[in-house]
Amino acid sequence: MVLEALPAAVRDRLNPHLERVPLALGDVLYESGDTMRHVYFPIDAIVSLLYVMENGAFGEIAVVGYEGVVGIALFVGGESTPSLVLVQSAGNTWRLPGQVLKDEFHRHTELQFLLLRYTQALITQMAQTTVCNRHRSIDQQLCRWLLLSLDRLSGSQLAMTQELIANMLGVRREGVTEAAGKLQKAGLIDYSRGLITVLDRPGLEHRCCECYAV
């Protein structure tokens, strides 16, 4: 939605530089500390921003889909990313040279407002994720994570292993297995061979904590 909301004059200048790129599950767009050369506007892919610890453990701090942009550091004064940027759900994205966006950012105040407003929303999501992962049960965290993913998908299915979900949430795999089992027993999801199908979204929302609504 960020790309679609751009002023027509800005979009016309960006269009020649936009490249449609397919993304596969598990693709790494940036490692933590990498210099950022491009920004990405997901079309139907989902991208996770992950914080990596010195021991190699990591946890998801935010998720970006069609509504957003990956690479906010480039237009707020940074050149590198503190996060590991990983494709959570396969799809396509628009890729744009970072310098092109920076030039337009400094040229057009409406673009500045739009991107900074999105940045504020992303920071809010990060803060809420931190609180949720600290104070909510694994069941509630899983519900929120599924709902955030569904919001960025056109369907009700998500290809994801329990091990990767556990890494995203920063919990043990056994905890995710137990939580997914409870949701499946309640008729909210079906989980088989790495494919999660949400059967009852309203029920999932009811079971989720207040963190999802923020």
CATH number at residue 123: 2.60.120.10
Do 115 and 209 fall within a single domain?
A: no
Q: Judge whether 169 lies within some domain.
A: yes
Q: Check which CATH number belongs to the domain holding 186 and give it.
A: 1.10.10.10
Do 145 and 90 fall within a single domain?
A: no
- State the helix-helix crossing angle for 173-185 and 162-169, rounded to 10 degrees: 110
Across 30-34, 82-86, 159-163, least confident range: 159-163
Is residue 67 predicted with pLDDT exceeding 80?
yes
Do 87 and 153 fall within a single domain?
A: no
Q: Judge whether 46 lies within some domain.
A: yes
Q: Judge whether 3 lies within some domain.
A: no
Q: Judge whether 1 lies within some domain.
A: no
pLDDT score of 17: 97
Calculate the alpha carbon distances from 35 to 46, 71, 79, 81, 137 in Å. 21, 10, 6, 7, 36
pLDDT score of 193: 79
Select from 64, 98, 132 the last residue of a domain. 132
Whether the pTM exceeds 0.85: the reply is yes
Is residue 33 predicted with pLDDT exceeding 90?
no
Counted domains in the chain: 2
Domain holding 113, by residue range, is 8-132
Is residue 45 predicted with pLDDT exceeding 90?
yes
Do 114 and 151 fall within a single domain?
A: no
Q: How would residue 170 be classed by pLDDT, with cut points 50, 70 and 90?
A: confident
Do 46 and 101 fall within a single domain?
A: yes
Do 114 and 17 fall within a single domain?
A: yes
pLDDT score of 122: 93
Q: What CA–CA distance (Å, rounded) separates 104 from 13?
A: 9
Do 112 and 181 fall within a single domain?
A: no
β-partners of residue 39 are 96
Is residue 23 predicted with pLDDT exceeding 90?
yes
Q: What CA–CA distance (Å, rounded) separates 71 from 108?
A: 18
pLDDT score of 90: 92
